[in-house]
Amino acid sequence: MINVEVENLGEYSIKKNTTILDLLLSINKEHAKKAIIAELTFKDDIRKIVDMNYLIREDLKIKLLFSDDEKSADTLNHSTSHVMAIAIKNIYPEAKFAIGPSIKDGFYYDFEINGTVSPEDLKPIEDEMKRIVSSNYSFERKEITKEEARQIFKDNPYKVELINDIKDEKVVTYKTGNFIDLCSGPHLISTGRIGAFKLLSIAGAYWRGNEKNKMLIRIYGTSFFKKEDLKSYLDRIERAKLSDHRKIGKDLELFSFHDEAPGFPFWHPKGMVIRNSVLKYWRKIHRESDYQEIQTPIILSNELWHTSGHWDHYKENMYFVKIDECDYAVKPMNCPGAILVYKSRQHSYKEFPIRYTELGLVHRHEKSGVLHGLFRVRNFTQDDAHIFALEENVSTEIKSIIDMIGKMYKVFGFNDYHVELSTRPENRIGSDEMWDRAENKLEEAIKENNLEYKVNPGDGAFYGPKIDFHIKDSLERTWQCATIQLDFAMPEKFDISYMGEDNKKHRPAMIHRVILGSVERFIGILIENYSGNLPLWIAPVQVIVLPISDKFCSYSEKIYEIIRKEGFRSELDDRVESLNKKIRQAELNKIPLMIVIGEKEQESDTITVRKKAGGDIKNISIDEFLKLLKENVKNKKTFI
């Protein structure tokens, strides 16, 4: 007999090779019905996520995960991707499958067939999937040797390549009906546990993301345990389409992309207004927090990137150039430049903390298939900061950064965010002792600030662990923007130091930090969060004056000039068009405030203000209006 503890249910002695499901059926049938997967904790504190059909072979603790858990949602999507693969195989028997993982809010599967798949073909695939779900096939897990797996998948070069890459001698397969897939799981008990799903789109995808490889067909979908959750998600997607920053950017002439420079954004005058408004506030906050702004070159020698570790850990994402027969690289990150600024003279402990900040333009080689408006580009500006501090003051610095993040996000209208702690990756620099210290300090800082968080094992930067901040927008989507990274490795690689109170050299701690992240991406998020209807202080055009007819153009021009001279971004629409057409055009241009000028306004020396957000302000003097504008912009209010 072996001993098992089930969280919230008690301790039990059971026979070896009992499944988790059978155990639950004997002690709590309601939990057996609702549990999706389980998290196991073994004696050596190793944790593992498993199916409900997992065979228990040793003493352990079991935590049941239900439909409200994020890992359960991943399992649902992964299982639904297998069901889609079965349906595709039934319809296209020649199909050869590559990979089919769960992703954020859904899943996809890549495959090859003799032909193409069109959007009209998704409906028959969905119908076949529904039949498979209703058939309630089991997901049967089996461990086999690599040689056995090669025989099973001998006609599929993609699976054989994956098998050859597996280091262990055993591989895992899942059988669902007559379909067998190479997969480590976990999965649902059976297809009947899948709730509501929808196939969303078709795309092309190079095998393993390499444009030199074959282009495969990729079908995206999403899956939920409840129909109402699927409906809510699809409604959100439709709203997101209307808020797409790429369309709004084009319609409002904010930015553009061109074939002559794929993945490199061109900022137009109105887009620069948004950008400069955001960065003007950013600079104000940083001045108030004693940051010193620097600027470093975008091209630096390869020798520097060898020292920093980027050459070994990030080279495939970098651009290179020769200057005077010497090798240089275009910087993908700003940190080595900040270190060179620090190293330009000796520092004393009395100077600390030294807070360098830089709006640094970086370049990263992204595959053409992943470029996506401002969200995924090849050059972008990071609102970087590199803080050099005494190790004992790291917690204080992190707290001040967390406070700054909360303050700035609130101003931009993001009041809801969550935190993730990403720990050491396999491919890293620095000693284990360095990583232990860095991870412990970050976790302590999170707890001291009473932030709820989850851990992402192995997802840290190659030079240090990090705290990531994920904001939620008006469409309930989350975006990773701010990050705080604690680095003991790079200061050692660059041999930076300071003179301590004991008049000896010591090594400082280094904190890497962004708040907006990529300025381009953050502006894209802002545009979509507000569907282009940006707050007054950010809006490219804040006020437009609309005379009802040409009889009122002179008074309208007077009002326009007063507003313009007060420093507000304004326009005058004196076209010979109806007022309704002018208002409609102003609304399409997403201008927050429209001043309507007619006979009543001209005679009383007042204005009528029409707010795009809804409602009118009638018979207000221009002085009162300007006071209202100034107060709104000064306090950076979301709406007027």
CATH number (domain holding residue 40)? 3.10.20.30
Active site residue 384: yes
d(CA 213, CA 317): 18
Active site residue 335: yes
Q: In what order do the strands lie in the sheet with 319-323?
A: 299-301, 326-330, 319-323
Find the mean pLDDT for residues 412-436.
89
CATH number (domain holding residue 163)? 3.30.980.10
Active site residue 212: no
In tens, the pLDDT along 247-263 reads: 999 999 999 999 999 99
Check whether residue 184 and residue 76 sit in a common domain: yes
CA angle centred on 331, ends 330 and 335, rounded to 5°: 160
Active site residue 68: no
| Catalytic residue, candidates 384, 473, 573, 574 | 384
Active site residue 364: yes
Label residue 640 by pLDDT band (50, 70, 90): low
Q: Kindly provide the b/e burial profile for residues 482-516, where b requires at least 16 CB atoms within 10 angstroms of the residue's own CB.
A: bbbbbbbbbbebbebbbeeeeeeeeebbbbbbbbb
Asked whether residue 253 is assigned to any structural domain, the reply reads: no
| Catalytic residue, candidates 187, 193, 275, 466 | 466
CA angle centred on 101, ends 95 and 106, rounded to 5°: 110
Asked whether residue 35 is assigned to any structural domain, the reply reads: yes
Asked whether residue 195 is assigned to any structural domain, the reply reads: yes
Question: How high does pLDDT run on average in the chain?
Answer: 93
pLDDT of residue 624: 95
- The residue range of the domain holding 561 is 543-634
Q: Number of folded domains in the chain?
A: 4
Least confident of 335-349, 436-450, 560-574: 436-450
Active site residue 466: yes
In tens, the pLDDT along 53-64 reads: 999 999 899 999
d(CA 63, CA 57): 16
Active site residue 506: no
Check whether residue 27 and residue 119 sit in a common domain: no
**Element containing residue 126 per DSSP (H, E):** helix 122-135
Asked whether residue 244 is assigned to any structural domain, the reply reads: no
d(CA 387, CA 373): 31
CATH number (domain holding residue 566)? 3.40.50.800
Asked whether residue 319 is assigned to any structural domain, the reply reads: yes
Percentage of residues in the chain having pLDDT higher than 70: 100
Check whether residue 421 and residue 377 sit in a common domain: yes
| Catalytic residue, candidates 286, 310, 335, 441 | 335
Phi, psi (deg, nearest 5) at residue 298: -90, -10
Find the mean pLDDT for residues 490-507.
94
In tens, the pLDDT along 120-151 reads: 999 999 999 999 999 999 999 999 999 999 99
618, 567 Cβ separation under 8 angstroms: no
| Residue where a domain terminates, one of 14, 36, 65 | 65
Q: Which structure tokens are listed for 271?
A: 């887009």
| Catalytic residue, candidates 78, 363, 386, 582 | 386
Find the helix packing angle between 269-288 and 519-529, rounded to 10°: 110
In tens, the pLDDT along 149-167 reads: 999 999 999 999 999 999 8
Check whether residue 135 and residue 49 sit in a common domain: no
